[in-house]
Amino acid sequence: MDCSNSSNNSFNNSFKNNRVLVTGGSRGIGLAVSTAFACQGATVAMLFRQNREAAEQALATLPGDGHSLIQADVADAGAVETAINEAIEKLGGLDIVVNNAGIGAYHPPQSSSYEQWQQAWQSTLATNLVGPANICFCAARHMMAHGGGRIINISSRGAFRGEPGKPAYGASKAGLNSLTQSLAVALAPHKVFVAAVAPGFVNTELAAELLSGPDGDAIRAQSPFNRVAEPQEVAHAVLFLASKGAEFSTGTIIDVNGASYLRS
């Protein structure tokens, strides 16, 4: 664990005593978000799907006490309800949820079979959109009854720019943006604030194969920084949106893409 980088240092311990659930928290962006919150004094529950050993190793890197693991498939509506209740029990409440778990199957329309196409749409929407919608529902009902809370959804640049090789992924993230906006309006009167972060390419396992392959240099060159984001840079935007004083930014979608795609 490293609390010394700038992302982890900028919030002055301002999440002390906050209880945070991060889905897909045990690696990639989710681990960076979990670490950043823990560095700021929060207690974190990391939701993982299958690799307990990796999740336990990740948990051991978090600074501070009281952090925990929850195993669940976010695509399973029943498991989501159980997981939120488990998070509330383990953390003693729930102040912040980060919907980070996501998948991105490759299924270009020109070369996929109809079966592959259907499978990709089904699994991608179940994990990236319906799962977060169910988590938002269960978490928001608790937050509304307990003085409010924050929900941050991890979207993607692909929601705006299109995803020709992964159309279901782009659509799932566009749907997640719309969900974020609808819930921001519906829940603000109940002091539940909802926002999203839309990264471009990030240096994680999800993008590793592409970034190390023949297209890697072209991908990095999409940004004037000539690189992709580090997970900590996404975490920084998440912490801003979850911080006190950011309430009026509810409903917003923050781009973290190194100016590789500028939307109007």
CA–CA separation, 165 and 213 (whole Å): 16
Does position 219 interact with ligand NDP (CB under 6 A)? The reply is no
Conformation bin of residue 77: beta by default, left when phi > 0, alpha when psi is -120 to 50: alpha
Does position 43 interact with ligand NDP (CB under 6 A)? The reply is no
- CB nearer ligand NDP, residue 30 or residue 258: 30
Closest approach, Cβ 89 to ligand NDP, in A, equals: 19
168, two tokens? 């279901």
Does position 75 interact with ligand NDP (CB under 6 A)? The reply is yes
Does position 130 interact with ligand NDP (CB under 6 A)? The reply is no
Interacting stretch for ligand NDP, rule CB under 6 A, among 7-15, 49-57, 215-223, 236-244? 49-57
**Rule CB under 6 A: which of 158-197 touch ligand NDP?**
none
- Alpha helices by DSSP H, listed for the chain, are 6-9, 28-39, 52-61, 77-91, 114-125, 131-145, 158-161, 167-187, 205-212, 216-220, 231-242
Q: Contact 173/147 with Cβ under 8 angstroms? A: no
CA-wise closest residue to 238 among 189, 193, 203:
193
- Per CB under 6 A, the list member of 8, 18, 20, 28 interacting with ligand NDP is 28
- Per CB under 6 A, the list member of 15, 22, 24, 195 interacting with ligand NDP is 24
- Per CB under 6 A, the list member of 42, 44, 67, 73 interacting with ligand NDP is 73
- Give CB contacts under 8 A, 24+ apart, made by 88-92: 88/142, 90/45, 91/19, 91/20, 91/21, 91/43, 91/45, 91/66, 92/19
Dihedral pair phi/psi, residue 110, rounded to 5°: -80, -20
Alpha-carbon separation of residue 150 from 53, 65, 90, 197 (angstroms): 29, 22, 18, 13
Q: How many CB atoms lie within 10 A of CB 256?
A: 20
Residue 169 known to be catalytic: yes
- CB nearer ligand NDP, residue 26 or residue 43: 26
- Per CB under 6 A, the list member of 44, 88, 154, 239 interacting with ligand NDP is 154
- CB nearer ligand NDP, residue 101 or residue 120: 101
- CB nearer ligand NDP, residue 117 or residue 261: 261
Closest approach, Cβ 128 to ligand NDP, in A, equals: 6
Strand 149-154 versus strand 43-48 pairing type: unpaired
- CB nearer ligand NDP, residue 15 or residue 48: 48
**Rule CB under 6 A: which of 198-217 touch ligand NDP?**
199, 201-202, 204-207
Which residues carry out catalysis? Answer: 169
Binding site residues, ligand NDP, CB under 6 A? 23-24, 26-30, 48-51, 73-75, 100-104, 127, 154, 156, 199, 201-202, 204-207
